Amino acid sequence: MKEKIDLLGAGLIGSLLAIYLRKRGLDVSIYEKRKDWRKMDSSGEGRSINMALSFRGWKALEKAGIREKVLPYTQPMYGRRIHDEHGNTFFQPYGKDNQAIYSISRNSFNKLLLDEAEAQGARLHFEHKVEHVQVGNREVRFSLPDGSAKTVRSEVLIGSDGAYSSLRNAFQSQLRFNFKQQYISHGYKELSIPPAPNGDFAMDPNALHIWPRGKFMLIALPNLDKSFTCTLFLPFEGYKVSFENIHDDQDVDQVFKTHFNDAHALMPNLLKDFRRNPTAALINTECYPWTENNALLIGDAAHAMVPFYGQGMNCGFEDCYILDGLVEKYGTFSWDLVFEKFQKGRKPDTDAICQLAMDNFVEMSDNVADPKFLIRKKIEARLHELFPKEWVPLYSMVTFSDMKYSEAYAIGKIQEKVMDQVMRDPLITQNWDRLDYEDILHQVEVAGAV
């Protein structure tokens, strides 16, 4: 008799986790509120359409044995291409020459993972909307499309049901559950740049494009069909350029012509996209504990972050990787132990990446356009070149390694302090490649040793 395990939510994290758990021989069911969107055009729901896979994500896919299947769906981006207000662009590599993050469409990726989960034997139950969860006995009441109710009593229950998790809502009324949900002042809207008239990409296809404008920005990620998916981030209110101040097509045109003129020329569907696509909010959630009584929160359900470090999905996949490692080590007989080890070990890391994601908005929308920031990045790249192990830039630790997020965060804080000092040199623009790099590294080592 196989042990039964139920997952709520068939998104990216739920699907990958189902693959892992099937490989461990468990009887896996996934309950999902949406229709089976694999037969439909688009999953919609105002979620971000493009994801950026990085090292942690790939590592988790590899262990699940599906790295090779995913690769053809991705488009590597080796750096940021910054667009200034005059239409000039320049390129900032993300890491070393061969290091990239990989753009992938959420929709096709989710289809692929879910197909794989199903092929591995996971049972899929669509159109099951959670109405109530009894945490004490893991009894979940679903409503079905015909209006009827269905109750499932789980032996082991995992909530991979995202930022607005039903399981977490049920946890919230448990004794001593700590929870925070925080919306940022910015919202976003998805837009698009179709292929050029010649059928090719309209811009450099191997970069994440950014139009940094201080309090707001536009970004674009390449798709396999040679289009780009764009995301416009604006404050909801309180600024001249904000969602509350855009009332009609003319306002949209005005904002794009003034601030994103080169992009505007490539966006024939701008007005239609802007009208049709919802303005979505951005939430950060943190909570603890993640487990109660053989039930567990994972991925966004446990820690939803804002998208500015491109780590939401990668972090969720790493959750699955780590959880699977614990199942490997402790077996499936003591889920309480596995879940307890998981939350204790993982929580400091997800706190760190949530914070980094929050902080990174300023870097993406403002700093990247600052000449001094570029010098700073060059110095850091040089340090990394000279001392490849001793100085790894924060972005690289997060994106191109599987170092614990909390450790990357702590090292990043020390580097930041040292670099703030280095950048105080008034002649840094002229002197940056003649610095005493050994000494800079030494300062970090001293600070790290304290």
Interface with a second copy includes 181 (CB under 8 A)?
A: yes
Among 137, 151, 172, 334, binds a second copy (CB under 8 A): 172
Of 339 and 432, nearer to a second copy (C-beta) is 339
Interface with a second copy includes 258 (CB under 8 A)?
A: no
Q: Could you tell me which residues come within 8 angstroms of residue 121 by beta carbon, excluding any fewer than 6 positions away? A: 22, 28
Which window, 169-177, 260-268, 269-277, 328-336, contacts a second copy (CB under 8 A)? 169-177
Which window, 30-38, 181-189, 197-205, 407-415, contacts a second copy (CB under 8 A)? 181-189
Per-residue mark of binding to a second copy, 278-307 (x: CB under 8 A): ---x--------------------------
Among 88, 98, 148, 178, binds a second copy (CB under 8 A): 178
Minimal distance, residue 179 CB to a second copy, in Å: 5
Per-residue mark of binding to a second copy, 22-61 (x: CB under 8 A): ----------------------------------------
Whole-number Å distance between alpha carbons of 415 and 197? 46
Interface with a second copy includes 177 (CB under 8 A)?
A: yes
Minimal distance, residue 148 CB to a second copy, in Å: 20
Of 218 and 287, nearer to a second copy (C-beta) is 287
Interface with a second copy includes 90 (CB under 8 A)?
A: no
Minimal distance, residue 280 CB to a second copy, in Å: 10
Among 2, 153, 180, 275, binds a second copy (CB under 8 A): 180
Of 100 and 354, nearer to a second copy (C-beta) is 354
Interface with a second copy includes 427 (CB under 8 A)?
A: no
Minimal distance, residue 134 CB to a second copy, in Å: 16
CA distances from 195 to 50, 192, 200 (A): 16, 10, 6
Whole-number Å distance between alpha carbons of 75 and 104? 7
Interface with a second copy includes 182 (CB under 8 A)?
A: yes
Of 268 and 278, nearer to a second copy (C-beta) is 278
Minimal distance, residue 178 CB to a second copy, in Å: 5
Per-residue mark of binding to a second copy, 236-255 (x: CB under 8 A): x-------------------
- In the complex, the residues that contact a second copy under the rule CB under 8 A are 164, 172-173, 175-183, 236, 281
